[in-house]
Amino acid sequence: MNNYTYTKANHSNDLEQLVELFNNVFAPEKVGQFARILSDFFPGFSFSNWYVAKEQDKIVSAFASIPWQWSFDDIHLKVAELGILGTCEEHRNKGLFKHNNQLFEHDLQKQEYDLAVIQGIPGIYHRLGYYYALPMENHTEVPLHSIPSDLSIDIREAQTDDIPFLIEEETYFKKNYNITSNRSPEQWQYILKEGRKSEYGSRIFIIKTTNYQYYLRILDGGFGTGLTISEASMSMPVDVQTAAFSLLKQEAQKLKKPYLRLNLSGSHPLVQAAHHLGATVRPSYAWQIKIVDYIRFINKIKPILEKRIKSSAYFDLTGLTALNCYQFQVNIEWKNGLITGINQEYAEEASYTLSIPEHLLTKLLLGYRSWRELQYINPDVFPADQYLRFSIEQPSEACGSLFDVLFPKLNNWINLEY
C-alpha cells in the first residue's frame, strides 16, 4: 500500500488519465468522455471534485464527487453524489477506494454536506452507511401498439431560449413533491448543450398548443431496451398527452425501440395515463443515501417537523421525543409545538420513543417508508414499549400516532441534473 498516494486531481494531465481509466474500465461505454465533459463544462465541477489514487504519477483508481442542490419542501439541501467509480483491474482488491473514501468523508463533514448519494451498484455500499431511501429508475413500460399515431400538435426540440420556461415547469413540479432537485439556468444549459455530447445525454422536446406549451425529456441511453422518458410536464391535458405518446411512439420506431419506458414518479399524470394504454409496472430501483450528520440534518429540517406538529392534534407538544437507534439515541425536545433542542445522547426517559435500527433511520427521515411499513419487514421498529412491557404512561398507540405525524411517507422524486 506504500506504493500509492491518495489525493485530488489538479491538472489537465490528470484529466487525460481519468478519461483513459474510465474508458478502459467501462468499455465499450465511453464513460471517460462523460468524465471529460463534466470536468470541462458542468457548473460547480472542477479538478478537485476527483478523488484519485496514484501509483507513482499514474492514476489507477478514481471517483467523482458531483455537486447537487436538492430541496426538502422549501429547505435547500447540500448534496454530493459519489459517482463514476473505477479502478484498473490489476489494482483492485487493494483497498484503494477505501482510502480515497476517507478523504471524501472528511470533506463531507468539513464542507457541511447534508447528504451523500449513490446511484450505482446495488449491495456493496451499505457497509459505508448508504441505504436505499428515495425512488429512482421507475419502469412503467408502454407497448407501442396501444398508442395512437396523431402528431397534430406543434413539436420542436428545446433551445437555450426555453430555459426560463423549463425552470417555470420545474417550479410547478416541485409543488407536487417533497424532496426534489434544484437546477440552475447554467445546469439547464449544460443539459441542452454540452451534456448532449456524452452517452448520458438527452433531448428535450417542446409541445406547443394555442394557449400553452409543455415539455418531454428523452434519454439517449437508459436501462432496458425501451425508449426512456425521464421528465415530462405535470400539467398536460388529455389531448396533449395523446400527442406526447404519439411523438414518443414515433421516436421509438425510428430508433427501433420495442416499447416506451417512463422513468417518472408513479404519481406523475403521464404514468397514470399510461395505465390506460396497457402499461406494465416493473420493480424500481432507489437512490442510496447517507445522512452525513443526523443532528445537523434534523436541525436543518426543524421547520418541517414543527409545521407537521402545528397542523396536527399535537400542536402544543411539550416534552421529549426520542429515536432509539440501539447504538445511540436522537432526542428532540419540544415546548408548545416548537423544537427547543436536538442532541444525540441517552437522556431521561422520553415522553414518546420510537425504536428503530440506524440502517432504517434514513428511510424514515426522508419519508421513503413510514415506521409502520418498516416495522412490517423489521420488528426492531416499534413505538414506546410495544414489544417490551405494558405501561399506562407510554401507550404505544399514542407514540405510533405521533410518529405518523412527525415522519409521514412522502412523495419524492429527483430529476437528473446532467
Sequence spans of domains, the chain? 4-118, 139-284, 293-406
Could you tell me which residues come within 8 angstroms of residue 297 by beta carbon, excluding any fewer than 6 positions away? 114, 115, 291, 365
Residue 394: what pLDDT? 63
User: What is the third-level CATH fold of 4-118?
Assistant: Aminopeptidase (3.40.630)
Whose CA is closest to 176, among 275, 272, 294? 272
How far is 383 from 95, CA to CA, in rounded Å?
40
Q: Are the C-beta atoms of residues 103 and 6 closer than 8 Å to each other?
A: yes
- The reported pLDDT for the residue numbered 2 is 72
Q: pLDDT value at position 181? A: 97
In this prediction, residue 390 carries a pLDDT of: 53
Residue 71 CB contacts under 8 Å (≥ 6 apart), including other chains: 77, 174, 179, 180, 181, 182
Domain 139-284 has CATH 3.40.50.2000: no
Q: Which residues in the chain come in under a pLDDT of 70?
A: 1, 347, 386-395
d(CA 190, CA 237): 29
Per the structure block, which three cell numbers stand in for 271? 404514468
To which CATH superfamily is domain 293-406 assigned? SCP2 sterol-binding domain (3.30.1050.10)
DSSP letter for 178, please. Answer: S
Instruction: State if pTM tops 0.75.
Output: yes
Domain 4-118 and domain 139-284, same fold? Reply is: yes
